[in-house]
Structure 1
């Protein structure tokens, strides 16, 4: 039992680092860049489930707030979290929880993982657009046009990749006994 918890904490820390690394993969857009963060968060939640997937996101955000350059563009600090794109960062938390909850509840299958990751994408974009509207003082149309529309297709693609790779990696880690078969504890 204790050994499993230690393994899960190590894997959780590893995924926090992976999120930070993937955040540096960016395609600049006028308001909000396309990044690898959401792909990494989908992977973490699909592989680790709701508890440890969400914890990996908490660790990632705390590292960024503490000053480590883990946010997009090697940025960090509270200014990023409270800036125009901070809603996306905050949205990562409920997205990870929901993705993990759905795959735990409905099974670690490709279908449930794809659905979970698409829902996670919608949650992240919703938080991001609402935050962007108020912090950047945009109209609803401008917030949706700049903060949601450019991310729908790429978000679906990342959701499918996160689900496919996540389920495969989870199966391999479980069979190698690097992940416990049941992670709900």
Structure 2
């Protein structure tokens, strides 16, 4: 039973990694910053509801590894070590903190939307902090200038992503739990 659940979680993690690889490159560049608008964190928020934070770490780790080896899965259809070491690389790493912080809160308080929202906000704050520190270092900006460049333009959009995850995440979670695929894996 436990190995079947692990297989099911692994399949979902792989599927979410594939979805991340498909959606993350479609980024909207902004003229005043090297940080584009991306759907990566939205996929992460949904993954936390669907597979939990531990499997979300695995899924996101696979996505990062695929990008690091050069597949064009990062924003703007880019990949490679240069992208990760560039000005936006801190956000790629910061999303690991988002997964851990928001994921633990969502798993602990799944029926409390306000608590889940707080977890997502705290997770995004950690990702912002790490990303901004790296962006500021790379571009030789003050931390405040880094916030102006890499955080403030994204607050409304990220708030909307959090709202979408809060509204749709629990519904998707219930739908995935009822999938016949899970039932057929459990019967084997």
Structure 1, residues 145-164: CA drift from partner, whole Å, max 9, x if none?
01111011111111111222
Q: Once the 2 structures are TM-superposed, how far is the Cα of residue 49 of structure 1 from its aligned partner?
A: 1.1
Structure 2 residue 161 is matched with structure 1 residue 153: no
The number of residues matched between the two structures is 180
The answer on whether the counterparts of 1:46 and 1:53 sit within 8 Å (CA) in structure 2 is: no
Please name the residue that 2:186 is paired with. Answer: none
The answer on whether the counterparts of 2:67 and 2:80 sit within 8 Å (CA) in structure 1 is: yes
Please name the residue that 2:122 is paired with. Answer: 119
Q: Distance in 1 between matches of 2:77 and 2:111?
A: 33
Q: Give structure 1 stretches of 5+ with no counterpart.
A: 181-185
Q: Once the 2 structures are TM-superposed, how far is the Cα of residue 5 of structure 1 from its aligned partner?
A: 0.7
Please name the residue that 1:174 is paired with. Answer: 177
Q: Distance in 1 between matches of 2:180 and 2:105?
A: 23
Please name the residue that 2:107 is paired with. Answer: 104
Structure 1, residues 36-73: CA drift from partner, whole Å, max 9, x if none?
11111111123211110111111110110111111001
Q: Distance in 1 between matches of 2:25 and 2:83?
A: 14
Q: Give structure 2 stretches of 5+ with no counterpart.
A: 184-188
Structure 1, residues 110-150: CA drift from partner, whole Å, max 9, x if none?
33332222222222211111110001111222211011110
Q: Distance in 2 between matches of 1:22 and 1:108?
A: 28
Please name the residue that 2:17 is paired with. Answer: 16
**Which region of structure 1 is more displaced relative to structure 2, 99-108 or 36-45?**
99-108
1:21-100 pair list within 5 angstroms: 21-29=22-30, 30-31=32-33, 32-100=35-103
Residues 42/114 of structure 1: CA separation in 2 closer, same or farther (3 Å cut): same
Where has structure 1 moved over 6 Å in runs of 4 or more?
Answer: none
Q: Distance in 2 between matches of 1:179 and 1:116?
A: 28
**RMSD (Å), alpha carbons:** 1.7
Residues 116/94 of structure 1: CA separation in 2 closer, same or farther (3 Å cut): same
The answer on whether the counterparts of 2:25 and 2:72 sit within 8 Å (CA) in structure 1 is: no
The answer on whether the counterparts of 2:45 and 2:165 sit within 8 Å (CA) in structure 1 is: yes
